Structure formats: structure tokens, C-alpha cells
Structure 1
């Protein structure tokens, strides 16, 4: 359970963000979309920015107490940055994150969620199917079933009933396997 950001803490963090240069603010937003396992190189690629320009923005973020290493200085900083990303920018960043993570060989589940959040169910559905296969290869059956269900939902949004049904059937088969091994 996450605690709500107090008005005072949110105000302090928002003030820090308002003092950032435009490149640093965009870098912070991109990092918030990636959420974890990010660094200056990945953020630069996501934004299509020159690495040395992004390095300067990153130094600004570190000096302002926004990021450190491969993460945010604090969860409250992440939550404030994330909460203040405009919706139109958010969907663009999610799509850029999906493309960047695909090129970097990122986990299919992360890629799928970024496509989904970016409003691209046509790209999310096959990524969820890949995520299901990856999870099944690691014998993570609960996750496998969940990814098939998410793929089915994405196919339904697209009006592709046959593919949605096929994904649901796969989810049901995995659920049966879970019952056999006694996992619920």
C-alpha cells in the first residue's frame, strides 16, 4: 500500500521539478515511464537525444535530488514526476519506451505494458503472447495465464475475436496445469 504524498512534500518536489531545464524535465519524465532499470543511455535512446546532451541533463537531475544511479532518489520523487506527466506526453513516452526496450531485448511483458499504456493494442497483443511464452519457458504458470488473458483483452479491443478466443483457450490450459500441480 502506498501512502499518499503529503501536500508539503509534493510541493517541495514540484518546486524542484519546476526549476529543471526542459531537457532535464523530459529526462525525468522518460525515467518515470521506464520506472526501473534505467540509465542515462536508455533515457537518451528513448528520447532520441544525443548522449552527451542527456548526460548534462542527467547531472542536473542528480544535483536536484531527482535521480541517483539507476533510480529515483525516493519513491515520492518518482510518484510526483509520474503524476505530473501530461496525458499526451505520457502515451508518446510509453510508445517510445516500448520501441526502445524492444531494440534492447527487454522483457516482453514490459514491452507489452508500454504498448498497452501507449494506446497500441495491436502491438500490445503479440507482445503479451511473447510474454506468456517467456513466462511459460521459466515455468511461471500464474504469470503465463495472466499474459494470455491480457493478450485476449487486447485482441478483443481490436475486434479480433478468433485471436482473443485462442488466447483465452491457452490461458485456460495453463490454469488447468496450475490445478494439476496444486497452485491456485
Structure 2
């Protein structure tokens, strides 16, 4: 019989890290030169793939910009029970299980735990009496001083005017919904 696409995949032998266990670029920062190195490396690999100039070996590469050391290790074989490798389920990329994050130096909090689409034109209509609204199909910006909310169709939002995640979540709930 055909596999049930809604069935829960079997447990992976690779444990899932707890939410927020690792620092992010927003929470810990990043040395700006590494972003250029990684972008150049990925672009070169993409050129190889697109031009057919050779196979790209599946490897994990590390670059230490302080010491100048690089290291490559072969990718381990795919785990048949891994949600990402075998089932193409990438919960963390879709924002599941991620707490609101106060964005470094921006007086803003990013909320990305809503998992249903937002009808931006309908939201624009409901918010119009409450403040200034701009919507273009890709994002909605709502300004009700001292706060500014930028909402995306997937439900993510950036709440400017606070660094308090609890207040940001309250504003999200008040203006966008649960």
C-alpha cells in the first residue's frame, strides 16, 4: 500500500535540539566577513551544478575567520527516520517551536510561531480604522504609534517599538489574532 503522507514519521536516531538551544545570528551576532565567504562558496558550488562542470560532493564545510582554518567533513549517510532528510519536514525552517526574538539593535521583536496564512487585504481592512496601513500582497505594514507591525502572509511579524517579547506577543494577538 502507498505510504500515508499524514502519518507521523518514525523517530529519528538524530535527536532534535530543544527550541532556542543554539544562539542565532540575531542573538549572538556574526562576524560580517563570514557571510561574504559563505555566499561566495555557495555561489561557486551553484555555478558548478548549473554548468555541469562537475559533481558537488556532499560535505559539511566550516570556516574560522579568526584563525583562517577551514575544514570539510563528509556528510553522514541519510538517516531513514530523519524528519528532514527522509520526510522533508523542516519544522524549524517554518518557524515552529521558535520563541519571539528581540532583534539586536532594532527596538523590535520578531514573532514567527503562527502556522496559518494571513489574508493581508482582509487584515488591512480591519486595521485601517486603527492606524496607517500599507499592504502590497507580500507584506502589510500597520503603524499605530508608538508601534509598527510588519506582517507577512505566512503569519510572521516584526513588531517595532519594543524589545519586550511579552508586549510584542500581546500586540500581535490584539491586532492580528491568535
Q: What band does the TM-score fall into relative to the shorter chain?
A: under 0.3
Which protein has the larger Cα radius of gyration, Structure 1 or Structure 2?
Answer: 2
More strand by share: 2
TM-score, length-scaled by structure 1: 0.22
Select the structure that is richer in helix.
1
Greater relative contact order (CA < 8 Å, ≥ 6 in sequence): 2
